[in-house]
Amino acid sequence: MKGLVLAGGYGTRLRPLTHTGPKQLIPIANKPNIQYCIEDLRDAGITDIGIVLGNMMPEKVQEFLGDGSKFGVKFTYIVQGEPKGIAHAVNCAKEFMGKEPFVVYLGDNLLKNGIKAIPKKMVDEKADCVISLMPVKEPQRYGIAELAPDGKKILRTVEKPKEPKSNLAVIGVYAFNSTFFEVYPKLKPSWRNEMEITDAISLLIDSGCKVVPHHVEGWWKDTGKPEDILEANHLILDGIESSNDGKVEDGSAIVGRVKIGKGTIIFGRSVVRGPAIIGDNCRIGPSAYIGPYTAIGDQCHVARAEVDDSIVMDDATIDVERKLVRSMIGKSSRILSANGLLPKGDRHVVGENTTIYL
């Protein structure tokens, strides 16, 4: 069985962070979103993986992923270019897949318990397609599956219905066999002018194929917006284990579960309260407070500030007597002090190479 990770799209809801790179490379608990997808596929025994590239700086995805050897897998890069829907992206991989079954994983999705159950169900039930389902609060925002009364048969799938007939969202992990490519030519663009994966699944059902539901256990996140990424960061840090490869000077303190990288120093009466993660070669202090559910990337410096429930990306500097809450601070950004008093509790989404004086 092969794998397919989709790394396209514009990430408009994540601007300005996506002005300088694809959304799939935004770090969550100091690891790019797409890496979690790759590791889930690998852990499910899938090591031959296609990466579908869009036109949003695809070279950065290739630079980070390489040939796959550092993750214990092998990559084949497939160019989609202009985003024309998930089904279109999958069809771009037709030659790569050949006649093999495959798992599709959207590169901006996260699942707590991985995906091992999905390829297993594909094999055990001799299915043509397995779709992952999870109840959601606002089903009109998602592709929705309508099930038969016994819950075992999928009647159809609909993209963002105005009047949903269920609350079961079709989430971003699917398994198909080559019948997908047989029905794709019958697919027509939706009202969004996209080739919808939900329409492709409905075509499979109408063609008599066996489409099987998989009800996901644990949490799932689609990290399409800043608040989703912060929540995903929160969820992953909930499972972090303590480790310290750096140095904590006398007078500073680590409280709770905190992971500290190599070459990092906590000094000057600073406090890091977990769950939290601090990357390599950081300087935390003097008088810094890193609050729970915060991820600090590599080569960062935080002084005097309080940073709570936030993501600070590599090479950022925060040196200001202020409290930052639920913030995303981009790579190489600087938040520095200025004269004057302003209310505390700022919220920021800051792109790369930005300077803010507060």
Q: Are 175 and 296 in the same domain?
A: no
Residue 9, classified by CB atoms within 10 Å of its CB into exposed (0-12), middle (13-18) or buried (19+), is buried
CATH code for the domain in which residue 275 is found: 2.160.10.10
Kindly write down the DSSP assignment for every residue of 55-87, as one continuous string: SSSHHHHHHHHTTSGGGTSEEEEEEEES---HH
Map 80-105 to HEC letters: EECCCCHHHHHHCCHHHHCCCCEEEE
CATH code for the domain in which residue 139 is found: 3.90.550.10
From first to last of the 358 residues of the chain, give the pLDDT tens digit: 999 999 866 555 566 565 566 678 888 899 998 999 999 999 999 999 999 998 777 888 889 999 999 999 999 999 987 778 899 999 999 999 999 999 999 988 888 888 999 999 999 989 999 999 999 888 888 889 888 777 778 888 888 888 888 899 988 899 999 999 999 999 998 888 888 898 999 999 999 999 999 998 888 887 777 888 898 999 999 999 999 999 999 999 999 999 999 999 999 999 999 999 999 999 999 999 999 999 999 999 999 999 999 999 999 999 988 899 998 888 888 888 765 545 555 666 666 656 666 6
Residue 126 forms part of a structural domain: yes
Structurally, how many domains does the chain consist of?
2
Q: Are 200 and 248 in the same domain?
A: no
> What's this model's pTM, rounded to 2 decimal places?
0.87
Q: How many angstroms separate the CA atoms of 211 and 216, rounded?
A: 16
Domain containing residue 292: 243-357
Q: How many angstroms separate the CA atoms of 50 and 336, rounded?
A: 42
Residue 234 forms part of a structural domain: no
Cβ neighbours, 10 Å, residue 63: 10
Q: How many angstroms separate the CA atoms of 212 and 224, rounded?
A: 26
Residue 49 forms part of a structural domain: yes
